[in-house]
Amino acid sequence: MNTDLTFWDHLDELRKVLIRTLVVTMFFAILAFCFKEQLFSIILAPRGTVRLINTELTQQFVIHMKMAFFVGFLVASPYILYQLFRFVSPALYINERRYVVRVCGGGYLMFIVGVIFSYLVVFPFVIRFLGNYQVDQSVENTITLQSYISTFSSLTLLLGLLFEMPVVCWLFAKLKLLKSSFMTRYRRHAVVIILSAAAIITPTTDIFTLLIVSIPMWLLYELSVVIVHRTE
């Protein structure tokens, strides 16, 4: 372990890491901001035939900046993880560095898989169902752009985090905090929790959309059981 640096030296190194990550993030954010048409052609593609409106003067510009920064951060995230690893690695043993690399790499990969799954499968069903649902034919839906972007961002982030389940379970198993016998014993309870979480994530009344979210979550749980068992 490296103990040559003083406390102030560590703060200076952390400042350099933060500056580098901010510069790279802003670079990709500005790049995404400049390609507005390409950016929003991807973001708005899942809406299908749902009509969107804007009701505030500055809302479209603000949303443009927010989504550009979101995409910039997402693209720069591998570099951010690398910089954070470089900062903490001198204080870790070799086997600890190996675990950190696996957790960061596996966690990032699973997060991206969750984001893609939300974009291609879950969000299109949610927005098209809610956007076309009517209590009466006389009530026409005009969804605001802010509502669309808010649902898109929150659903994408939540599913990305939920797909971290196997990585988190593997880490807990390595730390001797989780056993496969515990997960199999409380499998029924886990199914109830999964269905409840899926109902919160997808605020729809149809069983089909609920299953689209809950079945992958259940498969992730079963995969986590296998990973924990193999880790033991």
Domain ranges of the chain: 1-128+137-163, 175-232
Contact (Cβ atoms closer than 8 angstroms) between residue 46 and residue 39: no
What is the reported pLDDT for 11?
80
Cα gap 184→225, rounded to integer Å: 7
Cα gap 194→215, rounded to integer Å: 9
Q: What is the mean pLDDT of the chain?
A: 86
What is the reported pLDDT for 194?
87
What is the reported pLDDT for 2?
47
Pair of tokens at residue 3: 């103990």
Most confident option among 5-14, 66-75, 80-89: 66-75
Contact (Cβ atoms closer than 8 angstroms) between residue 163 and residue 204: no
Contact (Cβ atoms closer than 8 angstroms) between residue 111 and residue 158: no
Higher per-residue pLDDT: 94 or 119? 119
Q: Full-prediction pTM beyond 0.85?
A: no
Mean pLDDT confidence for 211-231: 89
Contacts of 207 (CB under 8 A, 6+ apart): none
**pLDDT at residue 203 is higher than 70:** no
Cα gap 29→23, rounded to integer Å: 10
Place of tokens 């961002």: 153
Mean pLDDT confidence for 27-54: 93
Share of the chain above pLDDT 90, in %: 38
Lowest-confidence segment of 18-27, 89-98, 156-165, 187-196 by average pLDDT:
89-98
Higher per-residue pLDDT: 42 or 134? 42
- pLDDT confidence bin for 33, thresholds 50/70/90: very high
What is the reported pLDDT for 205?
59
| CA dihedral over 113, 115, 122, 33, signed as positive or negative | negative
Burial state string for 40-56 with b = 16 or more CB within 10 A and e = fewer than 16: beebbebbeebebeeee
What is the reported pLDDT for 197?
82
Contacts of 200 (CB under 8 A, 6+ apart): none
Lowest-confidence segment of 13-17, 129-133, 177-181 by average pLDDT:
129-133
C-alpha distances (whole Å) from 228 to each of 29, 109, 162, 184, 191 are 38, 19, 17, 11, 18
Fill in the DSSP letter of residue 137. T
**CA nearest 92: which of 100, 80, 103?**
100
Contact (Cβ atoms closer than 8 angstroms) between residue 5 and residue 13: yes
What is the reported pLDDT for 120?
92
Cα gap 87→101, rounded to integer Å: 13
Mean pLDDT confidence for 124-128: 85
**pLDDT at residue 56 is higher than 50:** yes
Per-residue pLDDT tens over the stretch 128-175: 888 888 888 888 888 899 989 988 988 888 889 889 999 889 888 888
